[in-house]
Amino acid sequence: MLNLKHLPINSFNENIAYLHKDCTAYRVDDIKSLSKIEIHGGVKPVYAFLQIVDDDKLVRPNELALNTEAFKLINLPEGANVTLTMSPPPPSLNSIKRKIAGNILSSGEYSAIVNDIASKRYTNMDIASFLVSAGSFMTAPEVLAFTEALVGDNIIRWDNENIVVDHHCLGGIPGNKTDIIIMAIVAAYGLPMPKTASRSLTSCAGVADTMSVLANVDMDENKFRKVVGDCRGAIACYNALSIAEANKIISAVERYIGITQHQYIVSSILAIKLAAGVTHLVIDIPVGPKSRIKTTNDAMRLRKLIEYVGDMLSVEVDAVITDGSEPIGNGIGAVLEARDVMKVLRNKDDAPQDLREKSLFLAGRVLEFDPKLRGGQGYYVAKELLNSGRALEAMNKIIHAQGKAPQPQLGHLTRDVVATAAGVVESIDNERINKIGVLAGASKYQGAGLDLLKKVGDKVEQGETLYRLHSVNSTDFAFANSVVDGYTGYEISGRSVY
């Protein structure tokens, strides 16, 4: 018997238990290496990684301390009596050894792996082992089985709806916040679009980051339901909803180790959308030499895999391969992107036309899921909804329902990056622009980013501004400037490319 204590340490999803080296209930000397324990006393055993403490002020010999993650899970007060046993490795870890040896795993094995991850029986090390082992190859039925397992138990049901739509872009293109405009148009049309979106960690801004400039996105399921019920559309942050929980844990490790295989892109997107109750999904796959997907062949393989898994799980998927050769819209970074989105919705003269046209095209594809709509009419209906102001009206209603965000501040440290010679913008390097934006602070501060004043095909004079850098923090600003000095991301040619 040990007394429970909370050590308020946040270890980013990993449960950690701390025992004193002279623990009264357990011979800590026996533990010579990494090991996992089961802590009993709560409703279900809690699995945690063990660390040994040599300081009575942190943990006394008759105490067992848990970090914040594990303490939350055990759901007992400090001082409660707990016992512990060594935790045998979860049997599903054997499947990882089978995968390394080149085997195809069964759906039962994927289900066991995902369940063990969801119940925190895997350490991050175990999850990394799984992702890397299955990263070298998975058959399409394996991706299906993995996706099905990731959907989890909690599925949001939209009881009175036959069609529940969503749109998702694979990303990799700076700017490109079509989703918010599409959602406004679709909601104005009347199809329910409960969009789940993520915050970004590696790019300048995720859809949830940009939307959060305009409205609160951290909604629970009830709030999400209410907004969609009242407004036909909403954008909720996926991490704030209690759905597809194992996928959240897996995604954090994926991002950490930088794994980006097709199978994980497909399983993660479809699992989240299925858990959100989506029945019809448009997926935008932008292709470009500096996009996430580099070749049309690659995009085609990904499209086929999405279609296969979607069909088997009864979600209607329309995967669209689009031009990902340059940023879409002018703003990069949450505040600047939100500005572009609102300009398009307000039909402003200076609204970025590429963002407007791409949004209309994709919104049209979403609308055509409606059997009542005549084939080929989607685009025109979308355009009418945008031009008439009905999309803006729907958007304002949604912002109000989700909870309007305070007026955002654009970073006041700025630099105009200028052309060193006259010519025509021949190309803009997405990866470079993204890197400059992240360094400028865009993944941390809403107001940081880049404002592109020139796009591909535009003529520029020597000394004319190509883009304006915005930072909130001077360290970020200095970093971004040094990278810009190396290479701006723009190629200018002396002759017209057209």
Cβ nearer to a copy of itself, comparing 91 with 190? 91
- Closest CB 107 distance from a copy of itself, rounded Å: 22
Closest CA to 238 of 209, 204, 265: 209
CB contact at 8 A, 327 and 427: no
Count how many Cα atoms sit within 13 Å of the Cα of residue 308 in the half-sphere of its side chain. Answer: 18
Please choose, from the candidates 180, 436, 170, 453, the residue with its C-alpha nearest in 3D space to the C-alpha of residue 331.
Answer: 453
- Interface with a copy of itself includes 486 (CB under 8 A)? no
Contact set for a copy of itself, span 168-207 (CB under 8 A): 199, 201
Please return the burial class of 141, using the count of CB atoms within 10 Å of its CB with bins 0-12, 13-18 and 19+.
Answer: middle
Q: Which of residues 212-231 bind a copy of itself (CB under 8 A)?
A: none
**Is 240 one of the binding residues for a copy of itself (CB under 8 A)?**
no
Which residue in 97, 110, 44 sits closest to 73, CA to CA?
44
Q: How far is the CB of 223 from a copy of itself (least distance, A)?
A: 22
In sequence order, the 6+-apart residues with CB closer than 8 A to the CB of 244 are 150, 151, 152, 238, 271, 272, 275
Q: Is residue 3 within the footprint of a copy of itself (CB under 8 A)?
A: no
Answer yes or no: are the C-beta atoms of 460 and 424 closer than 8 Å: yes
Which residue of 124, 325, 347, 465 would you call a contact of a copy of itself, by CB under 8 A?
A: 124
Q: Contact between 58 and a copy of itself (CB under 8 A)? A: yes
- Min dist CB 462 to a copy of itself, Å, is 35
Q: Which of 3, 25, 40, 51 is in the footprint of a copy of itself by CB under 8 A?
A: 51
Distance CA 60, CA 2 (A): 10
Select 123 or 178, whichever has its Cβ closest to a copy of itself: 123
Smallest separation, CB 387 to a copy of itself (Å):
39
- Pattern of binders to a copy of itself over 356-385, x per CB under 8 A? ------------------------------
Closer by beta carbon to a copy of itself, 263 or else 330:
263
Interatomic CA distance for residues 328 and 452, integer angstroms = 10
Shortest distance in whole angstroms from residue 424 CB to a copy of itself:
35
Q: Which strands form 449-452's sheet, in the order they lie side by side? A: 331-332, 449-452, 465-471, 413-418
12 binds a copy of itself, rule: CB under 8 A = yes
Residue among 334 and 401 whose Cβ is closer to a copy of itself: 334
Q: What DSSP letter does each residue of 77-102 carry, written as one string?
A: -TT-EEEEEEPPPPTTHHHHHHHHTT
User: Site for a copy of itself (CB under 8 A): which residue of 304, 346, 374, 444?
Assistant: 444
Q: Binders of a copy of itself among 260-319, rule CB under 8 A?
A: 261
- Helix (H) / strand (E) containing 6: strand 2-6
| Calpha distance 50→87 (Å, rounded) | 10
Token pair for 155:
């599925």
Of 252, 300, 313, 483, the residue at the interface with a copy of itself (CB under 8 A) is 252
Number of residues that bind a copy of itself (CB under 8 A): 53
For residue 60, report the phi and psi dihedrals to the nearest 5 degrees: -90, 160
Take residue 172 and report the two structure tokens written for it: 């990799």
Minimum CB–partner distance for residue 491 and a copy of itself (Å): 25
Q: Is 129 in the site for a copy of itself (CB under 8 A)?
A: yes
Helix or strand or coil: residue 435? helix
What is the nearest approach in angstroms of a copy of itself to the Cβ of residue 363? 30
Q: Determine which residue in the list 1, 24, 44, 54 makes contact with a copy of itself, applying CB under 8 A.
A: 54
Report if residue 57 touches a copy of itself, rule: CB under 8 A: yes
CA distances from 178 to 231, 363, 432 (A): 19, 9, 21
Q: How far is CA 492 from the centre of its chain?
A: 33
Stretch that binds a copy of itself, among 119-127, 213-221, 295-303, 398-406 (CB under 8 A): 119-127
Contact mark string toward a copy of itself, 65..104, x via CB under 8 A: --xx--------------------x---x--xx--xxx--
Q: Which residues bind a copy of itself (CB under 8 A)?
A: 7-13, 18, 21, 27, 30, 32-34, 51-55, 57-58, 67-68, 89, 93, 96-97, 100-102, 123-129, 131-133, 135-136, 199, 201, 252-253, 255-259, 261, 444
